[in-house]
Every structure is written in C-alpha cells, then in structure tokens.
Amino acid sequence: MERGEQLFAHHFFSFVESYVIVVYYFFSANEHKESTMANSLTKNEYNPADLKADFVKTYGGTESSVSVFSSPARINIIGEHIDYNGGKVFPAAINRYLFVAIRKRHDTKILYKSIQFEGTHQFDINDDFAYDKKDDYANYLNGILSQLKKKGYRFDCGFEVLMASNVPAGGGISSSSALECGFAYAVSETFGFNIDRVEIAKLGQMSEHKFMGVNCGIMDQFIISVGKEKTAIVLDCNTLEYSYAPLELGDYRFVVMNTNKQRRLADSKYNERRTQCEEALRILQDNGIKINALCQLTPAQWEDCRKFITDETIAKRARHCVYENQRVLDAVEALKSGDLAKLGSLLNQSHKSLDEDYEVTGIELNTLASASQKQEGCLGARMTGAGFGGCAIALVHKDKVDSFIENVQKEYTRVIGYAAGFFACESGNGVARFN
C-alpha cells in the first residue's frame, strides 16, 4: 500500500484514448502532453525495452540470460473497503506497469536493484527474512520470499533483480501490490514453481499481512494478477469467484486524480477500520444474525438488525459496507445496460458514504470529488483505493476532459494550496512475461 507507492514515485505524461482515461498533471506543470498512440511512451517514462540492456550493464553477462516480467497498477471503479468484508468489488488493471528483470545466480546471494533508486540490497536465499525499515522496498520482495519458503518452495540458488517502474506512486493505485505480485510471478516462472494467478494474489496479500503489517483485503493483488485489457472484474471477495465485465464507456472516460497528499499513518487507520468492521460483525453474530461477513446483509436486512449495534461509529462503518456492496451490484448492472448516468450517480453516493460513514476521505479527496461533480460533462466522481489521500476517479465526457482538468485543478489548488496530479492510461493486463 502507501509505503510502496511512495517508494515507487515516478513522473510521466501520457494520454491514451481508450476505456479508461487518466490524465496526469505534474506538480509544477500547468500543461499536459498527450499522445494518441496506444502504448506510446513519453520522455518521462522508462522504456522497458531497455531493461535487459540495463540489467547487463548492472550485473554483466548476456541479455539472453535475463527474463523480464510486467505487473500493472489498478483502479477500483466501485466497492471500497468491502473486500475484507466479504463484499463484491469492481476493479480494473491499468496500463501503467512495473517491470522486474531477473536471472538466477550460481551462488545463494540475492541482489535487488532499481532503476529509480540508488544502491543495492543484498541478502542470501538461506536468510530468515524479517521486516526491517532500512531495507526499504526490498521488504516487499523479502515478504514474498518468506511466504514462498513457508509454503515449502525450495530455491536451489540465489538470483539478481533489476526493477523499473512506470507506476505513479503515492496515489492509491497500488504500486506495492504491483511490486509484490510482479516479483512473485517473476520468481515463480524463473524457478519453475508455476504458481497460478489466484495463488500469486494470495501470496501478495499474505506478505502484506505477515511482513508489512497491513491487514489489507485481496482486491489489489487479485486484479493485478488476473486483470485483462478492456475489462474490469466483478470479484466476490467471500468466495473469490470472479468474472470479466467489458468496460464499455461510450463517449465517457475515467479521469483519475491524485491528491499528492503525503499519507501518514494510513496503514494504522486502515487496520482500525478493519477492526471496527470485525467488531460490527461480532455484535451481529452474538445477536443471532447468521452471517460470516457484513456484506452478506442486504440493505433491508441491515435496517432490520442495525439496532443491535449501539456504538454510532461502528454502526456507520457497517452501514457503509452493506450499501456499498449493493452499489457494486447496481453499478455492474448499470454498465451492462449502458446507463452511465446511473453509474455516475452511484460513484457520487459511494464517495458520500466513504466520507460520512466510513470517514476515509479528508479534505483533499473531498475537494477533488466535489469539484469534479460540479463540472459540465462529469457524470460522477469518487475516491478510489484506501483513501486518506491517494486518488479519486471521475467519469467525464471525452470532449470535456481538458476543461474538466483545468477547472478541477484550479479549485483544488485554491483550496488545498498545491496542485493535484492527473494521469492518463487505458485498461491493462495482469502480471505477464514481458520478454
């Protein structure tokens, strides 16, 4: 989550006309540069075609001995903070990728390097891996190794890694899950473990829980592992059943907006929300309600049993979960029937609930959402991801994207005192071999 997103900060400008559009504004820049060529790279992005050559420059040897894997960022269209409450969520992978180049070694050493960050992190495959602040981004990788070893996967040698990221960071689009799942997939393929995509997602989630101390749900790792271009997935987090839904937005596009807020203490607030939901569930169960997750309740069932929860804060958290889950079902239907106005209105309702009942928005996300919702051509807007800063998304008519960004930027800067980030992308693919 946030820690990784900060680590993988990377600036770029890009615009690709497709189902999902995100437009990125740099702190200091008042203009955005567009490219209509799918998959074109801009001057600020790392070209992954260079990664093998850079690997050889770093570690020696030949390019043919190196493998490169890609791993996407994600947005969540709707269904926030309910993956850990057995709810349904509606995320999509986006075409901003992190790349992992890897090669086995002849000894037991492990070396990690990054194009974006100085220095080398060195370990040994026989180490007992444990979280250490000074290990920085290497913690995410060691977290995966420690999970793999716990599960009995055996390593006959060490390896060396060079990473590069075009995933903008600190924005709630899950650069850390991209890192965890991309690395897990790279290791699995390199060592012939052939771990399936759902297992890759679970490894990433377990690593967050056991190594990073964040009790996240499965949504981010899942979509990053199984995502497919031009689709979002409807994921039932209770059963892990999922299906692909075409992202058909007609003349509308998603604009994604980064608050550029430094997220402090977000992990502990996230864990606190999760604990409050567990408390709500326990109270309901103690009162004879036969559910094993909050999102099993329909809104009508909730209204019948809410009286059992007397603590107003706990009740608000539970109410958000129940209604948000219903909004996901409605949003999937709305998209299926091409009712984008309905989808937009559900986005607005979701944001309101995350603000008033779940209390994970804050002035930055609220300013982005309310400024967006006022703009001509915008059908709806909401925060996406964990909140406490991070990103919001807005559903905007393609001809209004420029004026939308200009106006929202103006309002955001006036209220918050610094600029928001906007970035452009299209839907993307889950973890894959790149070359």
CB nearer to ligand GLA: pick between 148 and 266: 266
Q: Which residue has the tokens 């990433």?
A: 204
State yes or no: residue 234 binds ligand GLA (CB under 6 A). Answer: no
For ligand GLA, which residue of 83, 324, 355, 411 counts as binding (CB under 6 A)? 83
| Token output for 254 | 């998603």
Cα distance between residue 193 and residue 310, in whole Å: 50
State yes or no: residue 220 binds ligand GLA (CB under 6 A). Answer: yes
Query: Is the CB of residue 96 less than 8 Å from the CB of residue 427?
Result: no
Q: Alpha carbon of 43 to those of 46, 114, 424: distances in Å?
A: 8, 19, 15
Buried b (16+ CB within 10 A) or exposed e, 18-37: bbbbbbbbbeeeeebebeee
| Token output for 342 | 């309905």
- Residues in contact with 261: Cβ distance below 8 Å, sequence separation at least 6, in sequence order: 170, 362, 364, 389, 390
Cα distance between residue 199 and residue 222, in whole Å: 9
State yes or no: residue 217 binds ligand GLA (CB under 6 A). Answer: yes
Minimum distance from residue 65 beta carbon to ligand GLA (Å): 35
Closest-CA residue to 229 (of 95, 105, 53)? 95
State yes or no: residue 386 binds ligand GLA (CB under 6 A). Answer: yes
CB nearer to ligand GLA: pick between 178 and 343: 178
CB nearer to ligand GLA: pick between 166 and 207: 207
Binding region for ligand GLA (CB under 6 A) out of 79-87, 110-118, 181-189, 316-324: 79-87
CB nearer to ligand GLA: pick between 321 and 396: 321
Active-site choice (54, 83, 220, 267): 220
| Token output for 36 | 């209509």
State yes or no: residue 216 binds ligand GLA (CB under 6 A). Answer: yes
Minimum distance from residue 276 beta carbon to ligand GLA (Å): 13
Cα distance between residue 249 and residue 385, in whole Å: 21
CB nearer to ligand GLA: pick between 385 and 430: 385
State yes or no: residue 385 binds ligand GLA (CB under 6 A). Answer: yes
Binding region for ligand GLA (CB under 6 A) out of 77-85, 150-158, 259-267, 397-405: 77-85
Closest-CA residue to 37 (of 10, 62, 69, 14)? 14
Specify whether 220 is catalytic.
Answer: yes
For ligand GLA, which residue of 80, 267, 357, 364 counts as binding (CB under 6 A)? 80
Q: Mask 176-215, x = binds ligand GLA (CB under 6 A)?
A: ----------------------------------------
Query: Is the CB of residue 422 less than 8 Å from the CB of residue 22?
Result: yes
State yes or no: residue 222 binds ligand GLA (CB under 6 A). Answer: no
For ligand GLA, which residue of 8, 24, 26, 84 counts as binding (CB under 6 A)? 84
Q: Bridge partners of 256?
A: 393, 423
Q: Which residues are catalytic?
A: 220
